[in-house]
Chain A
């Protein structure tokens, strides 16, 4: 029988040995399995991002029609940009393949919408039509930014995996100010909670209704939509900000497309970078005493000229009801601004 002190010592040695062995034998990558493999580290304030799955993987074979290389479905429009980003039109993609690929990724798509002042009246139609057409089958988190939380309709039935959160924001006297501050509010929302909860984010205008499918074909790292009133005009006529004093300035002979700010999106990390840069530029302009001609849309266009979108949405995805039921290029209107009496809903002209 060993002396009692030796027992104690032996116990400590064995316990210490167990701990040391565990530390040594587990490689770092396995030690904290869930967190480290799931999040990519980011340079921003210690923010981490959920993974964005860009590959199209099929789990099983699909019965689909063969796409014949020599028979373009759309020969009337541009289907890829000069930097080889696809432009999404009806006919260019096979919804079955897209849905099948994205279904298995368990993605969450954050969707921000601003309903300030009288704009809360648009929420019901927006949400009801979104439930029918927007990212159906995927997890969606709506973030409704409003100064009147009590005006948010509570009895809109949301599908499985879809939630709505109301975020209270201040109201400003000028509609232009409300519009400008959206970038800041989206950036803050991403930093405070969205980055932990969603893979992708879309920032939408509320005074719009979904009429057709807006699905995972719209997902990409950085996605913008082509303005329905400017897609056939030369770049010199785009309503870019043309005053050199503004950070949103674009010279006459520059520009790819004119993007509308009613819908833009992408991977949360990329949209964070976009909103942060636009917000900084908006603030710089404010200090210089200038407001860009189309507020944040001007800054958005500057940003997207410099940072090319990885995917563009055709005007099907951002139509304007004032243009009627569509022209021959627009075979399907998916998401459209409703005709409204601007004087009536806005705070100021």
Chain B
């Protein structure tokens, strides 16, 4: 090749150093992206947005503009609906959501003696929860062989996932966020569109249907729906990541019910768990564990739909005028008998 000049060895240094630089830069960039981008994940979620379409001209009652539930607020200040009996039409709601062919994941933790609540939970869910929808129950327990076999309707499945138990009920409660987050990552994101994370020590008594579906759904705690915000049992120590000051707060949400699109609940559980871990490093445990972190998260990331206390009651509470139906309620229990510690 007469056209090439007599080359010196260090001409090769040019492409060689170029290669090293590019390799180094690429590795550095990838690493930086991975650790700094909160969105970076190697999987995608099944569902983004849904349009509300009625399949045909179905008949239902005309809504009246000048008539509504006059005793309660049915929309939040950021225009998210608050679901009460009488605010939605169940026939219309089912007609809209059924054709979407949704799968709803439902996580429930039954650790230690709490496994005894499973039978009632599942049997009543089969009667009232998302009837005629595809439901996948994920039962997290340290006693897999004590999970009762309950007859599930067609299109509904149950998966048992083993997790370690603990000597402290607070610990069990606090780990739920992490476990749900991990399970979404490994499994649920492929299998479901929406997810609900429910407490096991409760029973369904009335319809809980597609009216509860939304991007990010929370429930108003039955003990605090008529209280001023300075009396909400938020975490009040500024040292905690769950801190809420006296003049902050919309509602007090119950940790027994978290719901929404799988992607949004994934973000929520990730964030809440991260904050919980940071507190643990500083030797703080928030007043109501993950419920405190949940409440702070939902103050800054407003839910797109809020469920009224009909969707989370407590059997020991007397009925009130406003709560016309009870759909899901915590059973009366002897805490000393079922919790591993005080």
Interface residue B12 (Cβ < 8 Å from any Cβ of A)? yes
B58-81 contact mask (Cβ, 8 Å, vs A): 1 or 0: 011111111111111111111111
A72 close to B65 (CB less than 8 A)? no
In the complex formed, the residue of A with least CB distance to B22 is: A18
Measured CA separation A147–B51 after assembly (Å): 36
B89 close to A82 (CB less than 8 A)? yes
Majority secondary structure, A binding face: loop
Interface residue B337 (Cβ < 8 Å from any Cβ of A)? no
Count A-B contacts at CB 8 Å: 212
Interface residue B215 (Cβ < 8 Å from any Cβ of A)? yes
Q: What's the minimum C-beta distance from B86 to chain A, rounded to whole angstroms?
A: 10
B52 close to A69 (CB less than 8 A)? no
Measured CA separation A106–B145 after assembly (Å): 54
* Number of residues from B at the complex interface, CB < 8 A: 78
**A25-B30, A69-B251, A70-B72 are contacts. A329–B211 as well, Cβ < 8 Å?**
no
User: Which residues from B are CB-within-8-Å of A94?
Assistant: 77-78
B12 close to A7 (CB less than 8 A)? yes
**A56-B302, A58-B300, A101-B302 are contacts. A67–B59 as well, Cβ < 8 Å?**
no
Majority secondary structure, B binding face: loop
In the complex formed, the residue of A with least CB distance to B56 is: A306
Interface residue B92 (Cβ < 8 Å from any Cβ of A)? yes
Interface residue B318 (Cβ < 8 Å from any Cβ of A)? no
Q: What's the minimum C-beta distance from B323 to chain A, rounded to whole angstroms?
A: 11
Interface residue A71 (Cβ < 8 Å from any Cβ of B)? yes
In the complex formed, the residue of B with least CB distance to A79 is: B75
Residues of A within 8 A of B (CB): 1-2, 4-5, 7-8, 10-11, 14-15, 17-18, 21-22, 25-26, 30, 40, 54-58, 61, 63-64, 66-73, 75-88, 92-94, 97-98, 101, 217, 221-222, 226, 231-232, 234-235, 250-251, 253-257, 270, 305-308, 310-311, 329
Residue contacts A-B, CB under 8 angstroms, 7 given: A55-B215, A55-B216, A61-B299, A70-B225, A94-B78, A217-B79, A232-B65
Other 10 A-B pairs with CB < 8 A, given A14-B18, A80-B68, A307-B51: A30-B33, A72-B71, A72-B72, A76-B70, A80-B88, A83-B96, A86-B79, A97-B78, A254-B57, A306-B54
